Amino acid sequence: MEAVVPEIESVLHETRSFAPSAAFAAASALDSQRLAALRRRAAQDHEGFWAQQAATQLDWQRPFDLTLDDSAAPHYRWFVGGRLNASYNCLDRHLPERAAQDALIFENDDGDVQRWTYAQLHAEVCQLANALRALGIDKGDRVVLYLPMGPQAVMAMQACARIGAIHSVVFGGFSAESLKDRIEDAGARLVITADAAPRGGKRVALKTTVDLALTEGCSSVERVLVYQRLGGCVMDPMRDVWWHDVVPQQPTQCEPEWVESSHPLFLLYTSGSTGRPKGVQHSTGGYLLGATVSMQWVFDLRPGDVFWCTADIGWITGHSYVSYGPLSNGITQLIFEGIPTYPDGERFWRMIAAHKVSIFYTAPTAIRSLMRLGDELPLRHDLSSLRLLGSVGEPINPEAWLWYQRVIGGGRCPIVDTWWQTETGAIMIAPIPGAMATKPGSCTLPLPGICAEIVDEDGQPVTQAGQGGLLVVTKPWPSMLTTVWNNDERFRDTYFGRFGPRVYVAGDGAQRDDDGYFWILGRIDDVLNVSGHRLGTMEVESALAAHEAVAEAAVVGRPHEIKGEAILAFVVVRGSREAALKADLPRELRDWVASRLGAIARPDEIRLVEALPKTRSGKIMRRLLRAVGRGETAAQDTSTLENPAILDQLRGS
């Protein structure tokens, strides 16, 4: 790991501060006094604080006996002895009061709208859960979901949770190969998919990709359950089952499987600094508690809210703030199948006005791309229903923050910039909007009960404002990952290998300002963040290396105005560089990576070079490559470079 280098210069000079309006603060459930009391309680008695939250916020079939078992740290177990069901907490417990309230408002790619009340959603989830049981799926079995963004995806997650099966959602943009790797690692017995899905007016052939993945391996898969969204796919009569043939006739009641608090609720594969994505494993009780309380605190939920999180269910944000958090809190949410720019750049604003969205949660990359289209488009729409705006997934630059606040929020909506990760399960550092001032570019302070700190390379706390360090969490928290699927060693090494089993190392650099506010500086490992999506440089490198024309490849991120980070690959070819350039190999390689990993991993630029910069001991000089990617021509330490002459090629000149 290299030294922490602050890369977002503009962020560091930002000093403006925005307090919530008196009216907003007065109507907030969590005002500054109550927040102070929560923080005090959490600081005095970490476990007692979480025990009280768990007992009051979730419904348990059997109460827990022990709040935290840390005897096998870092394999922590929360709420030991307690039994619950996540789907019961998301659906059944709301029925007495909210059966007729909308749970989901779904707008599809074409703009058609469908609604599900809590009673309807409950009934359909029960039917699907019964169908899964009829297909032989039991508690603990893994089910891979490869579905379009929509109600069926939420239902599938809930149905798995209902019967204690472990879901693993794979983002619909991932390739057959990526899907295959995840299915095999999880040992899934069932895949739930759709024939095809519309996305931005285009057809995404999900089932074809599943077929491809399964012909290449995946011997654990017995059945494929196919939801018909568009029509027109080939079915294997021995293996594939239509959703409409097996789900609608099932009973609309389904007894939930009561599981131990630490029973895995789901796996979600995410990129790290090695070539293989890891299956981040989350528990039922701890995870659900984190999703539930963070949602209440950070989004300041109030009766009548319409919440819209634009994340796809293929990412952790779609798990915690589409499937579990909103439903566990019994609120109404909008879900959307499409993309922000289809049929035009007004899509989001039109939808906010049409559905009277009050809380809107999206990613900086979307904000930046819509900001570029100008103020006029959002100003054409009545956005007065908005009360609160959120940001997630990557650092938000102050310019985008201020535009979001002024143009979308009309200057009246607080912005909650939320820092967290697939591994943390729920928001960790974010403002409590009715109780705190916000600053553009800062995710502010850790939530109550979250002990985030900044330490130096030796693990010593960084006390000085403005000094960068490693972001760590020094006490376990309920929604933390419990392990990496089938790989405890990797779990311990990756997150707890540096400062011992008590200190979770997040992989981000951060610093604090004079008010103690946190400013995230970005990843300090070989993880890229492209449009808010996590990708490992090694994953892209191994995809490149698998091409016959490639001898060696190194991949770095470089700043990108819209995407946050773009992918730059340096490639050494077998044979002549000139011939490869003539044959337009860079373009072929970009497509190659997209076909192997998925379109989000398509490199933005490929530079063919005669050699990679290496030290005399043979290590690729990644820091030099990153500097080259950033266009820095300032003196680099190239004294250890084996072949200084290649610098010009690296710079693309």
Mark the binding-site residues for CoA, compressed into ranges. 199-202, 317, 531
Of the residues 148, 434, 476, 507, which one makes contact with ligand WTA according to CB under 6 A: 507
Q: How far is the CB of 11 from ligand WTA (least distance, A)?
A: 10
Encoded tokens for 623: 């820091």
Q: How far is the CB of 595 from ligand WTA (least distance, A)?
A: 23
529 binds ligand WTA (CB under 6 A): yes
Please check whether residue 540 is in contact with residue 571, taking contact to mean a CB–CB distance below 8 angstroms. no
537 binds ligand WTA (CB under 6 A): no
Supply the Cα-derived Rg of the chain in whole angstroms.
24
Q: What are phi and psi of 416, to 5 degrees?
A: -105, 110
Mark the segment that binds ligand WTA (CB under 6 A) among 5-13, 162-170, 419-427, 623-631.
419-427
526 binds ligand WTA (CB under 6 A): no
Q: How far is the CB of 517 from ligand WTA (least distance, A)?
A: 12
Q: How far is the CB of 3 from ligand WTA (least distance, A)?
A: 17
What is the Cα–Cα distance from 542 to 408, expressed in whole angstroms? 41
419 binds ligand WTA (CB under 6 A): yes
Other CB atoms within 10 A of residue 608 CB: 20
Helix (H/G/I), strand (E/B), else coil: 489:
helix
Choice between 422 and 482, CB closer to ligand WTA: 422
Choice between 38 and 520, CB closer to ligand WTA: 520
What is the Cα–Cα distance from 381 to 370, expressed in whole angstroms? 14
Q: How far is the CB of 318 from ligand WTA (least distance, A)?
A: 10
Compute, in degrees rounded to 10, the torsion defined by CA atoms 170, 287, 1, 431. Answer: 110
Please check whether residue 450 is in contact with residue 429, taking contact to mean a CB–CB distance below 8 angstroms. yes
What is the Cα–Cα distance from 491 to 555, expressed in whole angstroms? 24
Please check whether residue 413 is in contact with residue 387, taking contact to mean a CB–CB distance below 8 angstroms. yes
523 binds ligand WTA (CB under 6 A): yes
337 binds ligand WTA (CB under 6 A): no
Site mask, ligand WTA, residues 425-454, x = CB under 6 A?
A: ------------------x-----------
What is the Cα–Cα distance from 179 to 196, expressed in whole angstroms? 16
Q: Which residue has the tokens 């997150």?
A: 495
Choice between 330 and 536, CB closer to ligand WTA: 536
Mark the segment that binds ligand WTA (CB under 6 A) among 5-13, 168-176, 505-513, 638-646.
505-513
Choice between 392 and 462, CB closer to ligand WTA: 392
Mark the segment that binds ligand WTA (CB under 6 A) among 31-39, 140-148, 392-400, 457-465.
392-400
Encoded tokens for 295: 């949602």
How many Å from the N-terminal Cα to the C-terminal Cα in the chain?
29
Q: What Cα–Cα distance (Å) separates residue 80 from each residue in 51, 256, 315, 525?
A: 11, 19, 28, 34
Choice between 268 and 612, CB closer to ligand WTA: 268
| Residue set of the binding site | 199-202, 317, 393-395, 417-422, 508, 523, 531, 534, 547, 550
Range 288-317, binding ligand WTA (CB under 6 A): 315-317
Choice between 8 and 580, CB closer to ligand WTA: 8
What is the Cα–Cα distance from 311 to 321, expressed in whole angstroms? 8
417 binds ligand WTA (CB under 6 A): yes
Please check whether residue 390 is in contact with residue 361, taking contact to mean a CB–CB distance below 8 angstroms. yes
Q: How far is the CB of 123 from ligand WTA (least distance, A)?
A: 32
Choice between 229 and 523, CB closer to ligand WTA: 523
What is the Cα–Cα distance from 527 to 533, expressed in whole angstroms? 10
Please check whether residue 434 is in contact with residue 27, taking contact to mean a CB–CB distance below 8 angstroms. yes
Sequence-separated (6 or more) residues with CB below 8 Å from residue 458? none
Q: How far is the CB of 417 from ligand WTA (least distance, A)?
A: 5
421 binds ligand WTA (CB under 6 A): yes
Concatenating the DSSP letter of every residue in 416-428 gives EEEB--TTT-S--
520 binds ligand WTA (CB under 6 A): yes
What is the Cα–Cα distance from 478 to 79, expressed in whole angstroms? 9
Count of helix runs (H) and strand runs (E) in the chain: 24, 30
Of the residues 89, 422, 483, 494, which one makes contact with ligand WTA according to CB under 6 A: 422
Choice between 365 and 422, CB closer to ligand WTA: 422
Please check whether residue 183 is in contact with residue 218, taking contact to mean a CB–CB distance below 8 angstroms. yes
Amino acid at 567: I
418 binds ligand WTA (CB under 6 A): yes
Mark the segment that binds ligand WTA (CB under 6 A) among 45-53, 114-122, 285-293, 500-508.
500-508
Choice between 355 and 534, CB closer to ligand WTA: 534
Of the residues 394, 526, 541, 565, which one makes contact with ligand WTA according to CB under 6 A: 394
What is the Cα–Cα distance from 253 to 125, expressed in whole angstroms? 9
The residue of the chain with the least Cβ separation from ligand WTA equals: 422
Contacts with ligand WTA by CB under 6 A lie at 270, 315-317, 392-395, 417-422, 443, 506-508, 520, 522-523, 529, 534
